[in-house]
Copies of this chain bind each other. A is one copy, B any other.
Amino acid sequence: MLAVHLEKGRVELTEQPLPRVPKGFARIRLLNAGICSTDLELQRGYYGFSGTPGHEFVGEVTEAEDASWIGKRVAGEINLACGKCEWCARDLGRHCPNRTVLGIVKHPGAFREFLTLPVVNLHPIPAALSNDQAVFIEPVAAACEILDQVKLVAGTPVALLGDGKLGLLIAQVLQAHGARVHLFGRHKEKMKLVEREGITAETIGKSLPERAYSLVVDATGSAEGLRSAIDMCEPRGKVVMKSTVHGLVQIDTAPAIVNEITLIGSRCGRFQPAMRMLVSGKVRVDSLISERFPLDRASEGFARAATKGVLKVLLTAPDRDAR
């Protein structure tokens, strides 16, 4: 089968045997996958990564012990937990210290014709969701994670910094949950995609409002984003950190301490609320897809995804007849 292999920044194609299916696992035929900013960071050397990336996907189960899974269209949670430690016992497998992570840490990812995941990680996809939409379950779950961490008070203005892929999903998720989202971004055409949802969008200017929001979400992917977020947050307010920045970040902690601001690290989220958001149409993702490439043109897909202004690039199952 065809698999993408990332090595020292190069996106290569390899021919591999079908992955074996350990007990409790399923084999899944890839339908669609999404290239995420994390994949681009892996390409840049984040986590010293080498292997098959990809963790946003929709596929069809082709093998599983429990035959009822076979033929099901599924998305999959990306953290493969040990199931035995205290974190797993507390239902926090996403923080299991022994975990591997699909396409990120020690478990080959979804950018291949067939992948494997534990059956407990799988979620059957509601018929109402297209394959394109289903690829967004994982990133929408990451956006929904904020709802599990912060109590949103209806009508409260929330500042959101960053109009990238994740930012645009967060904007919709928070707005759907009653917040009044003020999106601060750099790309008018991107912000326009969610402005119709009633979200106020503003181009980041020289000065940003200071001490103005009880909740600020930084999804800029930059170190300046966090600094701005702290400045924009009012005393006793909260800043959600959604930007994974590679390397050290310089921040002035004094305003965070003087104003007693709470900074909350935020990562993966639960799939169920994300699927509900997508099925209800409260989060709309179709316009966020910039382009699609078959798996055997993954290298072009990566290059495209890294281009300024481009949003989600999908990798699709290779056309078997065309190969």
Binding site for B on A (CB under 8 A): 87, 92, 95, 97, 149, 211, 226, 235-236, 241-254, 256-267
If A248-B251, A253-B241 touch, whether A87 touches B264 (CB-CB below 8 Å) is: no
If A95-B236, A235-B92, A259-B95 touch, whether A252 touches B253 (CB-CB below 8 Å) is: no
Contact between A149 and B260 (Cβ–Cβ < 8 Å)? Answer: yes
Closest to A258 in B: B267
Query: From residue A264, how far is it (CB to closest CB) to chain B in Å?
Result: 5
> Which of B97, B211, B253, B265 meets A226, CB within 8 Å?
B253
If A95-B235, A95-B236, A236-B92 touch, whether A253 touches B260 (CB-CB below 8 Å) is: no
If A259-B265, A264-B260 touch, whether A252 touches B254 (CB-CB below 8 Å) is: no
Contacts of A241 in B (CB 8 A): 253, 256-257
Contact between A248 and B252 (Cβ–Cβ < 8 Å)? Answer: yes
**Smallest CB-CB A-B distances: 4 pairs:** A95-B235, A257-B265, A263-B263, A256-B265
Can you report 16 residue pairs joining A to B where beta carbons are below 8 Å apart?
A: A241-B256, A241-B257, A242-B257, A243-B253, A244-B257, A247-B252, A248-B251, A249-B253, A256-B263, A257-B266, A258-B265, A258-B267, A260-B264, A260-B266, A260-B267, A261-B265
Closest to A233 in B: B265
Query: From residue A77, how far is it (CB to closest CB) to chain B in Å?
Result: 15
Contact between B211 and A260 (Cβ–Cβ < 8 Å)? Answer: no
Contacts of A236 in B (CB 8 A): 92, 95
Contact between B267 and A257 (Cβ–Cβ < 8 Å)? Answer: yes
Closest to A251 in B: B249
Contact between A95 and B260 (Cβ–Cβ < 8 Å)? Answer: yes
8 more A-B contacts (CB under 8 A) besides A149-B260, A247-B252?
Answer: A92-B236, A226-B253, A243-B257, A244-B257, A249-B251, A261-B265, A262-B262, A263-B264
Query: From residue A295, how far is it (CB to closest CB) to chain B in Å?
Result: 28
Contacts of A243 in B (CB 8 A): 253, 257
- Please measure, in the bound complex, the distance between the C-alpha atom of A25 and the C-alpha atom of B178, giving whole angstroms: 45
Query: From residue A231, how far is it (CB to closest CB) to chain B in Å?
Result: 13
Contact between B249 and A244 (Cβ–Cβ < 8 Å)? Answer: no
- Please measure, in the bound complex, the distance between the C-alpha atom of A251 and the C-alpha atom of B230, giving whole angstroms: 15
The residue among A149, A211, A243, A265 with the most chain B CB atoms within 10 A of its own CB is: A265
- Please measure, in the bound complex, the distance between the C-alpha atom of A262 and the C-alpha atom of B262, giving whole angstroms: 7
The residue among A250, A253, A254, A264 with the most chain B CB atoms within 10 A of its own CB is: A253
- Please measure, in the bound complex, the distance between the C-alpha atom of A246 and the C-alpha atom of B245, giving whole angstroms: 23
